[in-house]
Structure 1
Amino acid sequence: MSTPVLEIHGVHKSFGTLDVLRGIDLTAQAGTVTVILGPSGSGKSTLLRSINHLEKVDRGRVRLDGELIGYRQAGGKLHELGERHILQQRARIGFVFQNFNLFPHLTALENVAEAPIAALKKPKIQVYDHARELLARVGLADKTDVYPRQLSGGQQQRVAIARALALEPRLILFDEPTSALDPELVGEVLDVLRDLAAAGTTMIVVTHEIGFAREAADTVIFMDEGRIVEQGPPAQVLDHPRHERTQSFLSKVL
């Protein structure tokens, strides 16, 4: 079998005396969708932020395509990489936040084009052509010159997804991408995620949208108190959960 896109082994993370991640092991193969479910405070967002080194892990390893993220290993010890190297690694890991994080002073097109120009030093004409294609892909071909304040929440999130795609990442992380949206806008973002899944984009999605998990996920993970309690295909985890904690959580959200 080929090397997984993502490998997480024994990851621990604490904030003071609070243990947020308690020994996480997770792998993701290319072209798969992993959905992470769990109650608030279970460590889901911290896990995502640990994958691209926005949070430094206390113990354990994160690898992308076999390469250690955030560190180099020498003489049996880990040494944190310099910021420039870490930023290069992050360019291979897209991240879509729940609150969009768009630049308010840039148009939709400029938001999408900013990172490839700054990080990859690509020619502007090429980048802007690609950015237009990506906005069209998420259904916003007519919004290229519009500023974030003039867009709905769902439209802003679709711009954020296009921005994540612009760097052609190996993996995209979604941290509750629909939680800040009005209910009637959730569907338009989930439609984009379904299209990405169908196209073979490697994704890890933290969400409470059980329908999306059932329809699009290859693997569903249930987390609680910093641990992976249960994982497997959607039909197993959602319809026949083995762990009592998973059953209790699903009984409240289904």
Structure 2
Amino acid sequence: MSTVIAETATSGLVEIHNVHKSFGGVEVLSGIDLTVQPGEVVALLGPSGSGKSTLLRTINHLESVDRGSVTVDGELIGYELRGGRLHELHEREILRRRTQVGIVFQHFNLFPHLTALENIVEAPLALKRLGASDARELALGLLDRVGLADKADAYPRQLSGGQQQRVAIARALALKPKVLLFDEPTSALDPELVGEVLEVISDLARFGTTLIIVTHEIGFARQVADRVVFLDHGTVIEEGRPADVLDHPKHPRTREFLAKVLN
């Protein structure tokens, strides 16, 4: 694994203000307010159905919001403000702004007919960010960064789950996002493969990338996160430093959840 020198982040400020989202009349997000500073690592914890994944998807506008707003470095994602009201942008502009926010899912979503290298260069080439030679050089560098320099020509079926997830992380980094979101990045992995993915994410945290991570890996959240945010029923119940929230939770719901997870 390559060594990365930590640097101070100057971009990647995420501001979530009064975000509401409902599906079929059921409110999944109930007025979320959350600010993530540039370079901060935030772990989102909470039971299934608490709104964690939906919140992630609103940050890069994979889900629209019913009310409220999400900005990255002051720029609305998915919308523009006209006449005091939010209006959804055209798809091309949504895609442009969405590239500021990378996301890595539980399931790797790699193109099975493309090699690891081809999976990574696909987006920079499709968006005309780089020429073929520069895109290849970038992809090789990213594969080295995630410890897979020797797997450039391997197809997803030839890689372990952990290796596929590391390629997915490299693919997300190829567009040089300001913010990187992880939705349970280790939940689909065999236990012995979890560590290699968490190591890559820890490396990104040291590098100064703004990270928002939905996880049930309490030990990982304790080690890597600057702040833990606990959600339940679509609201932020408790937040603070990992040592405070995980060792001395104030809210009864947080204590109940941690007692079940840790036991």
- The normalised TM-score by structure 2 is 0.94
Matched, 1:161 2:169: yes
Matched, 1:41 2:49: yes
Match of 1:113 in 2: 121
Of 78, 87, 100, which residue of structure 2 is paired with 1:92? 100
Structure 1 unaligned spans of 5+: none
Contact 1:3 1:66 in 2 (8 A): no
Match of 1:188 in 2: 196
Of 134, 143, 154, which residue of structure 2 is paired with 1:146? 154
Secondary structure of the residue aligned to 2:127 is: helix
Q: In 2, distance between residues paired with 1:75 and 1:156? A: 46
Residue 119 of structure 1, CA deviation: 1.6
Q: Which residue identity is paired with 1:94?
A: G
Residue 253 of structure 1, CA deviation: 1.1
Q: In 2, distance between residues paired with 1:246 and 1:188? A: 28
Match of 1:198 in 2: 206
Of 248, 252, 257, which residue of structure 2 is paired with 1:240? 248
Match of 1:24 in 2: 32
Secondary structure of the residue aligned to 1:215 is: helix
Matched, 1:210 2:223: no
Q: In 1, distance between residues paired with 2:69 and 2:111? A: 32
Contact 2:166 2:200 in 1 (8 A): yes
Residue 4 of structure 1, CA deviation: 6.5
How many aligned positions are there?
A: 253
Residue 201 of structure 1, CA deviation: 1.2
Q: In 1, distance between residues paired with 2:12 and 2:204? A: 19
Matched, 1:78 2:91: no
Match of 1:227 in 2: 235
Q: In 2, distance between residues paired with 1:171 and 1:106? A: 26
Contact 2:102 2:181 in 1 (8 A): yes
Q: In 1, distance between residues paired with 2:37 and 2:85? A: 27
Q: In 1, distance between residues paired with 2:11 and 2:144? A: 33
Q: In 2, distance between residues paired with 1:3 and 1:177? A: 23
Q: In 2, distance between residues paired with 1:241 and 1:51? A: 27
Q: In 2, distance between residues paired with 1:108 and 1:6? A: 30
Matched, 1:124 2:132: yes
Runs of 4+ in 1 over 2 A off after TM superposition: none
Matched, 1:137 2:153: no
Q: In 2, distance between residues paired with 1:17 and 1:72? A: 26
- The normalised TM-score by structure 1 is 0.98
Secondary structure of the residue aligned to 2:22 is: strand
Residue 231 of structure 1, CA deviation: 0.5
Structure 2 unaligned spans of 5+: 1-9
Q: In 1, distance between residues paired with 2:83 and 2:245? A: 41
Secondary structure of the residue aligned to 1:242 is: coil
Cα deviations by residue, 1:134-163 (Å, 9 ceiling, x for unpaired): 001101000000000111100000000000
Match of 2:7 in 1: none
Q: In 2, distance between residues paired with 1:4 and 1:127? A: 23
Aligned CA distance change for structure 1 residues 37 and 116 (closer, same or farther; 3 Å)? same
Match of 1:8 in 2: 16
Residue 16 of structure 1, CA deviation: 1.2
Aligned CA distance change for structure 1 residues 4 and 108 (closer, same or farther; 3 Å)? closer
